[in-house]
Amino acid sequence: MPVARSLSVVEELRAALPGRVETDSARLQPYTTDRSGHRSAGAPVAAVRPRTVEDVQAVCRIASATATPVVTRGAGTGLAGGAVAGPAEIVLCLQDMDRILEISPENRLAVVQPGILNGDLNRALAPHGLWWAPDPASKDISTVGGNIAMNAGGLLCAKYGVTREAVLALKVVLADGRLLEVGHRTVKGVTGYDLCALMIGSEGTLGVIVEATLKLRPVVEGAVVTIGAFFDTVEAGAAAAAAITGAGHVAAIMELMDRPTLGCVSAHTGQDLLARGGAYLLVQCDGPAAAVTAERITELVRSAGGTAETTVDPAESQRLVALRRAAFPALEAMGTVLVEDICVPRDGMAAAFARIRELEDEYGVVIPTTCHAGDGNLHPTFVFDGDTVPEAVWAAAGELFSYALEAGGTLTGEHGVGLLKRDWLAQELGPDQYDLQRRIKALFDPAGILNPGKVFAPTP
């Protein structure tokens, strides 16, 4: 019977990892949800906090032998329901595996365990004149392993790339407990299929990342120049952002906020931002050519109808950036939020914003939207009352996903598929690729115990 099996699993886990297994129902509740707002039907059977690779292997061997599902989890900051655990599942929480194993300035790499936080890693790298580029909004509280599992993005993607561009090699524990080493410590390496790239963004469905060799960058020298610009409409701001990229200018940060978002930020911060315009474009330039690049970008902004202020003062720069970083907290203060994540070609951003306004009118919903304007990644955020997502919100989201695909874009630029977008995945991939990806999942995880139900919808 299921209860007997669960008790057996817990006993085996406690014998293998004494003092590292949690079964108290109240303490298991946080694992039933993440920042997506999705909540499972009940608590998992246990949460295990390993400290070593061998601990993880032991858990996977027990799970494999007992056919018990395993949900790997970092800090729980995901926005797609990818690390949500439910009844009869084991949570494998990697937060205690948080050590830096090596920093090699000569090779510009670091070897780390998956539980280390982005912010802590970069603070440790700073004395060596190095940094790790991935910069999600949750960087101070999200783990490196979680970033890798989701192929996280963030504000700096347009210039420095997403997580995939910052990983050299991984150690991964497979569902049956075997340890796999993929990738290379060297900068170059083309032997065989690139299984390291396959693991990045696999959302815990192919294996458990237990160690990462990261590609580092030298700390950027010189002054940082920040531009804060207001436009009458978000379409004008989007067109300006596309023009900046089209002119060949590469900004470290280029972010765009629409009128509904500015209204929420105004209410949250007490600043009357709407008096200055209906859209806010934040641009930040770094590196030796920052001043020249910022001057040319400012000219483009003004010629596109925007009003711009430019600063090299760190405090003023922080103030301008803080307007963008206030968006998510401001939206959360307005009600329950469902943060979506479509991506369109850069020259399609203005049309995407216009389509979002149409969906608001059509479905009677509120969709404040921010955008990583340097790479066309929009975050339409549905705001509603209560804990249950209204049908009108799901209907509008479905229309939005279809629009993104028709516009040559994708369902998700950085948040992943998880639970929230699995029903639309086949629409983007098509039947042949969808079938091939399911078979890859089955090859790595024949029993289907790794993060089941995530990414791929259950087979009818």
Report yes or no: 34 and 85 within 8 Å, Cβ to Cβ: no
Specify the pLDDT at position 7.
56
Give the chain's end-to-end CA distance (angstroms, integer): 24
CA 303 – CA 332 distance, rounded (Å): 35
Specify the pLDDT at position 373.
96
Other C-beta atoms closer than 10 Å to the C-beta of 411 total 24
CA 374 – CA 129 distance, rounded (Å): 26
CA 281 – CA 306 distance, rounded (Å): 9
CA 246 – CA 238 distance, rounded (Å): 12
**Which candidate, 203, 207, 162, places its Cα nearest to that of 182?**
207
Specify the pLDDT at position 37.
78
Specify the pLDDT at position 4.
43
> Digits of tens for pLDDT over the chain (460 positions)?
334 444 589 999 999 999 999 999 999 999 999 988 788 999 999 999 999 999 999 999 999 999 999 999 999 999 999 999 999 999 999 999 999 999 999 999 999 999 999 999 999 999 999 999 998 878 888 999 999 999 999 889 889 999 999 999 999 999 999 999 999 999 999 999 999 999 999 999 999 999 999 999 999 988 899 999 999 999 999 999 999 999 999 999 999 999 999 999 999 999 999 999 999 999 999 999 999 999 999 999 999 999 999 999 999 999 999 999 999 999 999 999 999 999 999 999 999 999 999 999 999 998 999 999 999 999 999 999 988 889 999 999 999 999 999 999 999 999 999 999 999 999 999 999 999 999 999 999 999 999 999 999 887 6
Specify the pLDDT at position 3.
40
Delineate the domains of the chain, giving CATH numbers in brackets. Answer: 2-93 (3.30.43.10), 100-218 (3.30.465.10), 225-406 (3.40.462.10)
